Amino acid sequence: MEYGHLGRTGLLVSKLCLGTMNFGPQTTEEDSFAIMDRAHELGINFFDTANVYGWVKGEGITENIIGRWFAQGGGRRERTVIATKLYGSMGDWPNEEKLSALHIRRAAEASLRRMQTDYIDVYQAHHIDRDTPFEEFWEAMDILKQQGKILYVGSSNFAGWHIAKAQESARRRGTVGLVSEQSHYNLLVRAPELEVIPACEDYGLGLIPWSPLAGGLLGGVLRKIDKGRSAADHIVAQLDKHRDKIERYEAFCDELGEDPANVGLAWLLHQRAVTAPIIGPRTVEQLDGTLRALEIELNDKALARLDEIFPGFKTAPEEYAW
């Protein structure tokens, strides 16, 4: 396994991040345990979750699964850099969502209980909260840091100017600020190249792409359909929209002799600011298959071909001005 620093920090994390969103809804607890154990065997130390995963309001199903896995001991917690998120609604009463100081405190305590740990390595805002000033956000996060309950703070789904605003607010307080941004970024979704990636580079944030395979579109969907496998309705709808690109992409992957899923992950690992794409295996076999992405070297010609199929963006403002 390869490791890199999370943004400008001294924290070393694996170049692939294990996403746990399937744990509970699509993957049984027993299989989830097996996937996490296998991840450690492969050297993956970076796991991502969220308090809303499991998708039953207030239950924190996925965090509970992780907690029971940690509770087995054997160095499971010590070998894991655990990143979780807050923002989504965890109840029907006021202050049970978003990023008020009250909710941050309560959400952190609840995540700690569910995951059966006394600290969170990377505590991430799952979305920008336009109603809470960053001064309040940072005060709450700084208190959690002082208490030893969180080590680092990250963001998710922030625009470039949100990152800048957050970092300047932290700078005024004399604190580290954000160390990572988790963005929707893949060959099909390249908008972060306009301002999010430049902001990450300038402020030293590690970029953690979610949905690196565009919900399955970049995972060899046409091959699977040709073999008689069905695709979810939302995948079929997106495939109809992007069929020409996907056909060209899978043909190029055939030329490379590589699985489309691994090419999609490898492409992200070649991009600026990217620390680790989030993989979401539903089985141990799927997890094992992702390791090939770390070995694929895409030369300039291959990267240019992918840019031709999936045009990206220049950094703003050059993309739309001079």
Q: What is the DSSP string of 49-93?
A: --TTTTSSTTT-HHHHHHHHHHTT-TTTTTT-EEEEEE-S--SSS
**Torsional class of 46: left (φ above 0), alpha (ψ -120 to 50), beta (otherwise):** beta
Q: Annotated catalytic, 3? A: no
82 exposure class (CB count in 10 Å sphere: 0-12, 13-18, 19+) = buried
Q: What angle do CA 271, 274, 275 make, to 5 degrees?
A: 140
pLDDT of residue 119: 98
The band of 236, judged by pLDDT with boundaries at 50, 70 and 90, is confident
pLDDT, one tens digit per residue, over 21-30 is: 999 999 999 9
Q: What angle do CA 74, 78, 81 make, to 5 degrees?
A: 130
pLDDT of residue 77: 98
131 exposure class (CB count in 10 Å sphere: 0-12, 13-18, 19+) = exposed
pLDDT at position 232 over 80 = no
Q: How far apart are the first and last CA of the chain?
A: 42
The band of 224, judged by pLDDT with boundaries at 50, 70 and 90, is confident
Report, in angstroms and rounded to the nearest whole number, the Rg of the chain calculated over CA atoms.
20
pLDDT at position 230 over 70 = no
pLDDT, one tens digit per residue, over 67-84 is: 999 999 999 999 999 999
pLDDT at position 283 over 90 = yes
The band of 252, judged by pLDDT with boundaries at 50, 70 and 90, is very high
User: Domains of the chain, with CATH numbers?
Assistant: 3-219+260-298 (3.20.20.100)
In the set 3, 53, 152, 203, the catalytic residue is: 53
| pTM of this structure | 0.96
282 Cβ contact partners less than 8 Å away, ≥ 6 residues apart: 22, 26, 27, 31
